[in-house]
Amino acid sequence: MPTNHNRRGGSTRQRPTTPPLAPRPQDGPLLTLEVERLAYGADAIAHTEEGKTVFVQGGVPGDTVEAALVQDGPSFSKARVTRVLEPSAYRVQSPCPFASVCGGCPWASVSYQTQLAAKRDNVVDALTRIGHFDPERARRLVAPCIQPGEPWGYRNKVELAFERRGQRAVVGMHDAGGTGVVKVDRCLLLESRYQKLTKAVSGALSYLANSHGLAIDRVGIRASRRTRDVEVALWTEPGPFPRAQAAKILGDATSATSIVRVLTKGPKKARRVVGVERLSGAGSWTELVGDERMTVSAPSFFQVNTKGAEKLVDLVLAGLAPDESDVAMDLYSGAGTFTLPLARRTSWVDAVESYGPAVRDLRRNLERAGLDNADPVGGDADREFPDSDADVIVVDPPRAGLAQDVVRKLSGQPARAIAYVSCDPATLARDLARFEQEGTYAVESVTPVDLFPQTFHVEDVTILRRR
C-alpha cells in the first residue's frame, strides 16, 4: 500500500498512454515489482521479495510493474519500468509526449495531488531521519505543500544540453537515464507562449555547430511572459567563436531580446565563470516579482518559477513581519529577491552574496528601485557576516545549506525571527537541528512550496522564532 499519496482528484484515474520503454540489450533481468512510495529523488521505491530496496525509474506508488534491472548493488538495486502491469490509481497520462525519455520531469506520470503529498512527506521524513526531530513534532511543524501556480508551464528558464555525435551536434534535454541527450520539440514546463523555444534554439544551434564545428557546454533559455524578455545564453570555453553568426541565427530563430555567451574554465564538474560576452540585445534578462523589477545576468541565480518566488517572498514577509524601525539581514541574497522587499519595509538591509555578477545585479536592482537603504557586500556569508545587530533575518543558501559557523553566528544575533529558505530538505534538517542545539531559536513552522512540479524538488520556508 503506498504511504505518501492521497486519494483526491478525479484526474488520477486516467489510464496511462505513455508508451512503456522496451528492454534494452544492456538491461539486466526483468523483475515484477509493486511500487510503494516516492522518495526524495527521481525514482520511486519498491522492494524485492527478499526485502532489497529497488529504486524504480518511471514507477508510480501503487503500480505493479515489470522493470528491467539496470544496477544491482549490495544494499539496493535500480530498475527501469518496461511495462505497467497494473496501473496505480495515482498514475496519470502525462501531457508531454517526451516524458518517458526526457529526464526533466521524473514525476510526470504521478497525479499532482500525490506529488504534493509526497513532497510534504519527504520533508517530514528528512526532519525525522536527519534532524532527529520527534516524528510527531515534525508532522506538526511541516505544513501541507503549497501549490503556487499551474503544475505545467511554470518555468521561466530551461537548460539544454549539447552533445556531439560524430560530425553532428544534438541540442536537447538530458535523457531520463542521465547518459545522453534527447531532442524535444517543445518543453511543457516553460510558459506556454515560449514552449517551442527549445526546438527553435536546438535547430539554430545544431545548424551553427555543424557548419562551424563549435562546441557548447550548455544553453540557458530565460523567458518572461510578464516583461516579454527572452534571453539565450551559450555556455562555452573561451576561444574563437562565431559571435556574429550565432547572434544572427539565434536572433532570427527566437526573436530573443538578449543573446550572451558565458565563458567558463576548469574541469567539467567545477567550471568557473570567467566572463559574459553580449552577442546582441540587452545582455541581461528582466522579470517582475510582485512589485519588484529584477534584472539578472545569465550566470546569476534566479528562481525558475516566478509565481513560486512570489509565494516565498509572501511567506518570508508574513513570518518576519518587518517594520520600518527594523534592521534586516539577507544572507545569500542573489540579485535581491528578498533584499528589495525588505529594503522597502525596514530601515536598513545588510545583504551578502558571494557571486560577483549577482552582487552587481543587486546593486543595479536597488538603484533602479530608488532604494538606498541596503548595503550589498560581495563575499562568503561566513567571512563577510554583517557586523550589525539584526531584528529580522533571511537566509537562502544553495543546496549545501549553512556552514556550522554561520548557524553559530546567526544564533548570536538578537533578531526576533529568522526565515530560512531552502531547496534541500536534507541540509535544511541538519541545519535546523543545529539551530535548536544552539538554543537561541526554535523552529516554528516549515512550509513546503512546490516550485518544481513534475519533479521531486521542493522549496521550504522555515520560520525560526527567538525562544
Ligand X SMILES: C[S@@+](CC[C@H](N)C(=O)[O-])C[C@H]1O[C@@H](n2cnc3c(N)ncnc32)[C@H](O)[C@@H]1O
Where on the chain is the footprint of ligand X (CB under 6 A)? 301-303, 332-335, 337-338, 352-355, 358, 380-381, 396-398
Contacts of 372 (CB under 8 A, 6+ apart): 366
Query: Could you tell me the smallest distance in angstroms from the CB atom of residue 328 to ligand X?
Result: 13
Task: Specify the residue, 94 or 422, whose C-beta has the smaller distance to ligand X.
Answer: 422
| Shortest distance, position 462 Cβ to ligand X, whole Å | 14
When the beta carbons of 62 and 341 are compared against ligand X, the nearer one is 341
Nearer to ligand X, 44 or 352 (CB): 352
d(C-alpha 282, C-alpha 269), whole Å: 29
Nearest residue to ligand X, by Cβ distance, number only = 334
Q: Which is nearer to ligand X, 65 or 359 (CB)?
A: 359
207 is in an annotated binding site: no
Active-site residue set: 423
Compare residues 352 and 374 and give the one whose CB is closer to ligand X: 352
Q: Is 355 annotated as a binding residue?
A: no
Q: 88 vs 303, which CB is nearer to ligand X?
A: 303
Shortest reach from residue 272's CB to ligand X, in Å: 13
Cβ atoms of 2 and 62 closer than 8 Å: yes
C-alpha distance from residue 260 to each of 217, 227, 232, 279, 365 (Å): 14, 18, 6, 5, 20
Q: How far is the CB of 422 from ligand X (least distance, A)?
A: 9
Q: Is 396 annotated as a binding residue?
A: yes
- Asked whether residue 353 is marked as a ligand-binding residue, the answer is yes
CB contact at 8 A, 100 and 57: no
Least CB distance to ligand X at residue 423 (A):
6
> Cβ contacts of residue 314 below 8 Å, gap of 6+?
none
Nearer to ligand X among residue 12 and residue 447 (C-beta):
447
**Least distance between ligand X and beta carbon 398 (Å):** 5
Given a contact cutoff of 8 angstroms between Cβ atoms, the answer to whether 332 and 255 are in contact is no
Q: How far is the CB of 355 from ligand X (least distance, A)?
A: 4
- Which lies closer to ligand X via its Cβ, residue 95 or residue 398? 398
Contact by Cβ (8 Å): 411, 106: no
What is the grid cell recorded at 453? Answer: 512540479
Closest approach of ligand X to the CB of residue 64, in Å? 39
Tell me the binding residues for S-adenosyl-L-methionine: 303, 332, 353, 396
